[in-house]
Structure 1
């Protein structure tokens, strides 16, 4: 019998038989991992198994290749921070859906796990959450091998007046170097490199750029999967929030 224990964030659940659930969690040392929770639909267990919940999990299987079973204990729920808050609920759903779709199964991503937990712990803090989410998307692209290089212009090597991102290389381009090609490039608002105005308008512009690389690079590398619709709902919630 193979057994491991860890702390994890719950990403998703789906029915399995009449009374059980298959859950998918994200942990620091075991990555995205699925298993069966026996009796997961019961009145005692079901309230624990809400997306985003922080759990102590024990996974057991006869062979490592098996689906296995989880025993779960609650550490903290994040549902209360999301209920009644459009932005928090949209954010929680977007993070869980994206991770479920892009993380390789059972592959360790400790740094991204830490960033994810820090982001989820900010749910309900609408004044800081959109910017924290932008930084999380940048970290996600880095972790998955599609990080943006915004340190200097890809054409002239300067680090001044950087205004665009090349959709082909993910590298910054200065306004002067862009020239007549500017309309074919992606925007590089200062907030994307940690400067200037962090208003929701600027964050949404930056998320247009990170979203391009999530859709056109990351998701295509996974078999041309679509970006989860939950991300679009999150961007709509950010747009509706008053700065």
Structure 2
């Protein structure tokens, strides 16, 4: 990718040297891409290079192996949301997850569209219930896109498609209420909104986050990437306090 001009979502920012920054952007057609922004720590660029913002990005590199130089122009700012506790942790987590989980340079158009939808929902919804469902669905999609999808279509034990109420932590497959009798404590609750659609109440939303969090931690957020789980813990903790 010697050169590329595209819109993109800012997912991660890391200071580099005294004045620069290395930015990781999720693009619609080229996936997650890094670039070096000269003066990225300046007063002018700091409000542009915030996770969740949408930028017009120009990548320039002499070779495909070289870290591209990057110039950015703000297209849409979500900076005001970062002053609000719940929206701030939702943006922080969803962008950090994307930056940590995705390999660079692999197109994930569905994930780009879904992340943009999550951030748009955080921006538009008056309360967390308006975007929490979108976030759970984004995490499920990310698991599926990376090869760790859950099978929520039928019971792993009997093949039933009705009354699916749990997920096996071993097989990542749904289990019906009847088949789960006696084993409920070993299984993860499956919130109805993941099967039937709709919003779900707070208990179901927290069950959804518990479900996706288990598989994200087991399959993706391992080794050096496990430290970003702190961002997710802050999110879940704030959601619990919001409904207490």
Aligned-partner SS, 2:160: coil
**Contact 2:122–2:130 (CA under 8 A) maintained in structure 1:** no
Deviation at 1:162, TM superposition (A): 1.4
Counterpart of 1:29 in structure 2 is 29
My pick for the range that moved more, 195-204 or 43-52, is 195-204
Q: Residue 186 of structure 2 is aligned with which of 184, 195, 201?
A: 184
Q: Deviations over 1:149-193 (max 9, x none)?
A: 111111111112212111111111112212333321111121232
Distance in 1 (CA, whole Å) between partners of 2:62 and 2:99 is: 25
Aligned-partner SS, 1:47: coil
How many residues are aligned here? 240
Aligned-partner SS, 1:178: coil
Deviation at 1:195, TM superposition (A): 4.9
Aligned-partner SS, 2:209: helix
Counterpart of 1:59 in structure 2 is 59
Counterpart of 1:218 in structure 2 is 220
Alignment of 1:63-102 (within 5 A): 63-83=63-83, 85-102=84-101
**Contact 1:142–1:148 (CA under 8 A) maintained in structure 2:** yes
**Contact 1:40–1:46 (CA under 8 A) maintained in structure 2:** yes
Deviation at 1:43, TM superposition (A): 2.3
Aligned-partner SS, 2:158: coil
Distance in 1 (CA, whole Å) between partners of 2:225 and 2:3 is: 32
Aligned-partner SS, 1:43: coil
Distance in 2 (CA, whole Å) between partners of 1:161 and 1:47 is: 48
Shift of the 196–112 alpha-carbon distance from structure 1 to 2, 3 Å rule, reads closer
Q: Which runs of 5+ in 1 are unaligned?
A: none
TM-score norm. by structure 2 comes to 0.91
**Contact 1:51–1:96 (CA under 8 A) maintained in structure 2:** yes
Aligned-partner SS, 2:153: coil
Counterpart of 1:14 in structure 2 is 14
Aligned-partner SS, 2:13: strand
In the alignment, does 2:13 pair up with 1:2? no
TM-score norm. by structure 1 comes to 0.92
Aligned-partner SS, 2:9: strand
**Contact 1:130–1:238 (CA under 8 A) maintained in structure 2:** no
Shift of the 197–120 alpha-carbon distance from structure 1 to 2, 3 Å rule, reads closer
Counterpart of 1:156 in structure 2 is 158
Aligned-partner SS, 2:194: helix
Q: Residue 174 of structure 2 is aligned with which of 172, 188, 202?
A: 172
Shift of the 219–14 alpha-carbon distance from structure 1 to 2, 3 Å rule, reads closer
In the alignment, does 2:201 pair up with 1:199? yes
**Contact 1:190–1:197 (CA under 8 A) maintained in structure 2:** no
Deviation at 1:58, TM superposition (A): 0.6
Runs of at least 4 residues off by over 4 Å: none
**Contact 1:201–1:239 (CA under 8 A) maintained in structure 2:** no
Counterpart of 1:238 in structure 2 is 239
Distance in 2 (CA, whole Å) between partners of 1:107 and 1:196 is: 31
**Contact 2:167–2:173 (CA under 8 A) maintained in structure 1:** yes
